[in-house]
Every structure is written in C-alpha cells, then in structure tokens.
Homo-oligomer: A and B are copies of this chain.
Amino acid sequence: MSIRDVANAAGVSHQTVSRVINGHPRVRPATRARVEAVIAELGFRRSVAAHALASGRTRSVTVLTANTTHYGRAALLRGVEEAARAASYAVGICVVESEEPRAVRDALDRATDAGGGLIVIAYDEPGLRALEQAPAGLPLVAAVETPAAAPPAASPWVWTDDRRAAREATEHLLGLGHRTVHYLAIPSTTRSRGGSQRAAGWREALTRASAAVPEPVAAGWTPAEGYAAGRRLAADPGVTAVLCGNDDLALGLLRALHEAGRRVPEDVSVVGFDDAPHAAYLAPALTTVRQDFHEVGRVCFGRLHGLIEGGAPVGPHALATPRLTVRESTGPAAPPA
C-alpha cells in the first residue's frame, strides 16, 4: 500500500497523492477530494520510514535522561509527550545509564540515530555530560538546573529559578526562628562548584541572614537514600530545620526523624522540593516548593518544535519561579530551653 497504489485507484499521479497528503495548495478541490476518498477507502497511511528517508525529517523527538521514574523527570517526560502528541510528533526515550564516557556516547549515538530532535534532561551528571558532548548541529533543547550566571545567548536551555525558590524556602525557615537550616542534598552536577543551584540558594539565604552554614548532607534522589542520610541529621539534637533537595528525600528524612522520636514540626521543621504527588498526603503534610515539571516538558518540546520547523534559533528560557507551599511540616523553632 503505497502512494502509487492510491494514485492508480484515484487516476492521478503519485506526486498528486503526495501533494494531497502534505496539504500542498496547488491541487484542485475536486482532485483533492477524490484522492482523499481513495485514501480513506484503502486505509492508506504513509510510511514513516520512507518519509524520513526521503525528506530527512522525522517528526519525532527523543528524550535523553538518566531516569524515567523519579517524579520530576517523569513529569517532565509527560509534558513532552503531551505537547508532542498535540503536534503529531512521535516520542522516544533514551536512558543514559551512567556518566562514564562510554555510556554517554552510546546514549548519544542511540538518540542521534533516531533522527529527530533531542531533549536532554540535564539535572544530573549523566544528563549534563550528554548535553556537553552532544554533536553540534543536532536540534536540541535541554532542561537544566538554574544557571549560575547568565547563560550564553545561544544555549537552548530551559529552567525554573529554583535557586531563588530554595532561598525563599530557607528564609521561610529562618523567619520561623530557626538558628540555621541544614540541607539534605540531591546529587549535584560537578560543573556547578559547591553543589546544585538549590544548594546555592540555600547557602545564599543563610549567608544573608548571617546564620551558620552547616555542611550539606549528601544523599541521592530516593526515599531510601533520604532515610540513610537523614539518620545522621535525626541523631543531631542541634538540627531543628532541614531543607531537602526533593520530596522523596524529605520522605526518607521524615521517617528517620520519626524513628528517632523527633516530632515534626514541633522538634524539627522539614521542607521538601518539587511538590510530588505524595507530598500533600504525608502526615505531617509536607511544606514544599511547587515545581511545574509538566510545564517545563511542554516548553522544551515547544521550543524544539520551533527550532525544527521554523529554524528559529533557541536561546535560554527561564520559567516562573516555583513558589513555596506551606503545609504542616514546618513550624516555629522551639524556644531555647
């Protein structure tokens, strides 16, 4: 079933069929109608492979990421998928296993082979390496951490200002009377010396308030890692307020505090990050910074789409600053004994 079969059945040339399926204007309405009727009758669908080969365009994007299940990345992926679907683009996924050069190159090769545009989730080291090593000329947009400085005008980056959000979250805690705020850290990309931008915002707030800046506690992304690292925090009676790099970490920390017999928020206040679906339903409900990853994904696709179809160069783009959502896990510092 090719355009030539359709052409025969409709009594036109294959080129006319091609014009019809591509919405080319120079086709008489009567001819167009006849061809469309035959297409519907035969159930013709154009071959994606042939189209891609002949035109060089694929109408597809692939999302390159280190993980597809953690909340933020999964939500971002969903945003991409929705926007892509609306534009009838196909979406592929390509996971970078680790930050080893070989794994990064493999992933890049796979992503490039797919032929379409590329959306890189560069929230972590593997993603960031992939972004840095992506071949020039490949249509690409990246979701990144808040840049430390003003990015070059040509960087196709999308982010939310979570550095500022982290600062505000820290100030919220400080405003509650806590002497200082500890930080339970998600892994940072090595490019940003001194930790992620979330960490930078936290440090900034502390410094401005002349509060002590404790050593950040390194964790990972998952509740299990938050729990493991959180036990140290829970064991330290000097800790009364903790900002967590994400809500899963906060969940683990909450558990560690619970086991240590420390009440939240009476003894310790906890702030999460991202507003994952579970945050509002924990007991205590988690105060957290609401991030719209869904929107980040949509914007990434939108800009990539513009780049592919319009050729318009894509520059850096910040979304609205995420806002702190205060719930039950934060409260006034206990008065000094």
Contacts and interface: CB of A to CB of B under 8 A. Distances in A.
Contacts of A281: 223-224, 226-227, 251-252, 254-255
Nearest to A250: B281
Interface stretch (A106-114, A144-152, A179-187, A303-311): A106-114
A248 B277 contact: yes
A22 interface: no
The CB with the most chain B CB atoms within 10 A, among A69, A85, A91, A280, is that of: A69
A81 to B, nearest CB: 6
A45 B68 CA distance: 27
Contacts of A52: 48-49, 52
A90 B92 CA distance: 7
B49 A53 contact: yes
A93 interface: yes
A248 B278 contact: yes
Contacts of A50: 53
A115 interface: yes
B95 A92 contact: no
Interface in A106-142: 109-110, 112-115
A78 B68 contact: yes
A77 interface: yes
A184 B87 CA distance: 38
A37 interface: no
Q: Which of A60, A74, A255 has the most CB of B within 10 A?
A: A74
A68 B47 contact: no
Contacts of A252: 281
Contacts of A319: none
A258 interface: yes
Contacts of A227: 281
Given A75-B69, A223-B278, A115 B283 contact: no
13 contacts: A45-B109, A49-B49, A50-B53, A52-B52, A68-B68, A77-B93, A90-B110, A90-B113, A90-B114, A248-B278, A251-B278, A252-B281, A282-B282
Given A60-B92, A251-B281, 7 more contacts: A45-B109, A48-B52, A49-B52, A68-B74, A81-B93, A85-B97, A254-B283
Those 10 A-B pairs whose CB atoms lie nearest each other, nearest first: A49-B52, A49-B53, A255-B281, A223-B281, A258-B283, A69-B74, A92-B92, A48-B113, A251-B281, A53-B53
